[in-house]
Structure 1
Amino acid sequence: MAVAAATENLPLVGSAARISAVKTWLYCLAGLVILMIAVGGATRLTGSGLSITEWKPVTGAIPPLSDGAWLAEFEKYRQISQYELLNKGMTVAEFKFIYAWEWGHRQLGRLIGLVFFLPLVWFWLRGAITGRLALALLGVGALGGLQAGIGWIMVASGLEPGMTAVAPIKLALHLTVAGIILALLVSIAAGLRPSAGAALRTPSKPVAPGLLLGLILLQIVLGGLVAGSKAGFTYNTWPLMDGAFVPPASVLFSVTPLIENFVDNLALVQLNHRLLAYLVVALAVWHAVHMRRRYAGSKTARRATALAGLTLAQMVLGIATLLLVVPLWAGLAHQVLAMLLLAMAVVHLRLT
C-alpha cells in the first residue's frame, strides 16, 4: 500500500526518550487533524463554509472586532448566491454563528501548521530527525500546505454565481487529502522504534491489510461525494433504496454525460457508498477470522479483530445517520469514526 510504502524503513532516531517524544508529537498532530476534520464536518453541516468569502492566510486570523467590521463582513456574504437563494433575511447575529464555524476551521488549520513546523525545527536541530525521516516529514508538511490551497479552491467553487454550496468533487478531494495526511502521520509514528527493537511481524505479510486500507481510503472519497452532494438526505431507508436493493439503471444513470452520474446522481453516489461499505466489512471480518485462526493470541490477530469491530460499528453508525436524516451529532460521529478506522488500518498494516 502506497501510504505504508512511503514511510517504510525510515532511519530511526536516537534514544528511546527522543523516539517517544517524536511519536507523541506525531500522534498529537494526528489528533489535531481528526479534530480539524470534525470541525470541517460541522462547518459543512451547519452551512457555514461560505461565510468567509476571502482567503487571507495571515490577516484572516483576526476576526471582526467591531460592529462596523462585522457589518462589512456580512455585506460581503450578502453578495453571494448562498445568501440570496438560501439565507436572505439572515440577521447579523445569525451570520456571526456561521462565521464562527468557518473562522474556527481556518484557525485550527493555522494551529496545526504551527504545531507541525515549530517542533519539526526543534527536533531537527537536536538531531532527533534526520535523513529520510526528515524528508518524509517535509513531504507531509508540503501536503499540508497544498491542502490549505485545496480548501480555498473548494470554497471558491461555492462562491460562483448560482452556487449555494461547494462542488462535491472538490469537497471529496479536500476530505481525502486530509485522510492521507492523517494516514502518513500515523504510519510514520507507528514505524518509529529503537534500532534494537524490530517490529514483530507475521512470517508472510498478508495482502488483506493493504487492501483494507485502500478500500477505506476509497470509501472516504465516496463519503466526501455523499456529503458534498447531500445524498445522505435522500433515500433514507435501509437496506432498500426506494423499495429496491439496487435502483433501476434508468435512475442510477439518468444524468448526461454518463461519468457525471458518479458525482452528481444522488442515487448512484449513495449506492456506491453503501456497496463499498458492505465490501469493507466483509473483508475486515474475513481477515479477522483468518488471523485469529492462523495467529491465535497474537497482537496481529487482536488488531485485525479490533479493525473488524470498528468497520462494523462504522457501518451501523452510517445506517443510523441515514435513517435519522443526518442529524449533526450523527454526521460528525460518522466522519470522526471513519478517521479512527483509517488510523487503525494504517497501524495494522504498518505492524503486520
Structure 2
Amino acid sequence: MLRRLVAFAAWGVGGRAGSSPRPRFASMCIAAPSLAPKEREALARRCALHACSLSLTTAPRDPPLVLVSGLAAHQVAAIERAGAETVESPGLPPWNASGDVWRRRPPALAASKEPARLYTYHKLHAWDPRVVKGAPRVAFVDADAIYVRNASALLEIEPPSAFYLRDACRPPNIPWHRWDPGIEIDGEPVPKARAYWNTGVVVYEPDATVARDLWRLYATGDFASLDPDQYVCEGDLLQTYYWRRWRGSRPHVLNAAWNFRGYKCSYADVADASRVRVVHKEERRAITLIFDACEHVRAPPRGARPRFLEELVSALDVGACRSPAAAAALRRTCPDQAQGGVG
C-alpha cells in the first residue's frame, strides 16, 4: 500500500526531477475530422476510462503518455484527470493516393481519396523517442482496451511483442475466404497466420531510425493490406515493416492475457480467465469479456454490467482515478487468482 501511495504522490508533482527515462505505457486519442460533436465526446470519455483503468489497476510509476488530436481543451483535461500525460500529435502528412497499397484498394473504395481509418496512422509517432519523452521501452495499448488487473509486467516483456492472430483465432462467423483472402508482401504469398498480428497491444523500443522508416513507408505507400475487410490502417504498415525486418523470425508472441479478444484461441492460450490483464474489444463484447474475466460469468443477462465496470465508471465520474481507496475497491471486483505470470 505504501508503494502505491508513493506512486500516486509522485504523479501529483510530475515525477522525480532529473530521473532517467523509464519504460512507459502509451495510447492515443485521435478524433477524426469527420466525427460529430457527440461522437467526439464519447471518444474522449472512452479514452479517459482507459487511462483510469490503468491508473487504478496498475498505478504505473510514470503516467501513461496519450497522443491526442482533434479534441477540445476540456476533453484533453478529462483524460489528464484520469491519470494520463497528454502529448499533442505532430499530425499526419498528406495521404499518398498513388502509393501501391492505395492503388490496389477494392473497387468499392475507388472514389475514396484516403482510408476511412487514416487517423490510426498517428500511432506511428509513438515509435519516435522524442514523442514518447525518451522512454526506452513502450507498451502501447489502444484506448478501446480496458485494464482489468495489474499490468506492470507488460513493461518487462521482451520487445517487440504482439498478439498473433493464427488460424485458430478465426471466429466461426467469418468464412475462410474472408479470414485469409490471399495476402501478398512484395509479390510473395504470405500466410495470414504468420504475418498478421493485432497492433492494439504492442511492446517495443522506440527508435529514431525505425520511426523514420515507418514514415517513409507511409509516404511511399509501399506496404501490403493484410486485413482487407478493414482497408487500410496503421496495422498494415507495421505488419509489413516487421515482416520485412524479421523475415525468418518475427516479433515475439504476446500471450493473449495481455490482449484478450475472446477468440477461441484466446481462451485456449489463457486457460484461466483470472489471468486476463487487458480486455480489448468493442464496448458490447468487452462487457461480456469483463464479466468472464472478473466474475467468471460466460453468459451475463442482457443489459447487465459487470461490477468492475460500474466501479470504474464511478471512479472516473467522481475524479477518483488516482485514489488508492478507489483502486482497492476496483481490485475487489476483479480479484487476481492466477498463479504465476503471463508472458
Tell me the TM-score normalised to structure 2 length: 0.27
Higher relative contact order (CA 8 A, sep 6+): 1
TM-score by length of 1: 0.27
Larger Rg: 1
